Amino acid sequence: DVKVTQSSRYLVKRTGEKVFLECVQDMDHENMFWYRQDPGLGLRLIYFSYDVKMKEKGDIPEGYSVSREKKERFSLILESASTNQTSMYLCASRPPGAGGYTFGSGTRLTVV
């Protein structure tokens, strides 16, 4: 089974801090994604990557950046955390062409 591992299950950060969320997958998938999930708003795509060093903006990239230096690792960076970035963050990977996403267990981030 594909395993997608997110480094932290719960995280509390202060406003203005730079925050790194890490995601690692073990199945050599090209495609990796970062979503945030908020009640009533569903899953919203922040950034995705088709390959190493490739990245594309999703629907809500403002305030975020990403890094993909190795195929298995896709990092989400909150440049200067704000309270409206308090959310559940979900990483996912997908093989090319077919199949659904496999999600990580999620990181619940609280910015105070």
Partner 1 sequence: QKEVEQNSGPLSVPEGAIASLNCTYSDRGSQSFFWYRQYSGKSPELIMFIYSNGDKEDGRFTAQLNKASQYVSLLIRDSQPSDSATYLCAVNHFGNEKLTFGTGTRLTIIP
Footprint of partner 1 (CB under 8 A):
31, 33, 40-43, 45, 48, 50, 58, 90, 94, 96, 98-106
- Please compute, for residue 70, the number of CA atoms within 13 A of its CA located in the half-sphere on the CB side: 9
**Residue 17 Cβ, how far from partner 1 at the closest point, in Å?**
24
Closer residue to partner 1 in complex, CB, 63/95: 95
CA 46 – CA 36 distance, rounded (Å) = 7
Residues in the chain, overall count: 112
**Which of helix, strand or coil describes residue 102?**
strand
State the nearest-atom distance from the C-beta of 100 to partner 1, in Å.
4
Cβ proximity to partner 1: between 62 and 100 the closer is 100
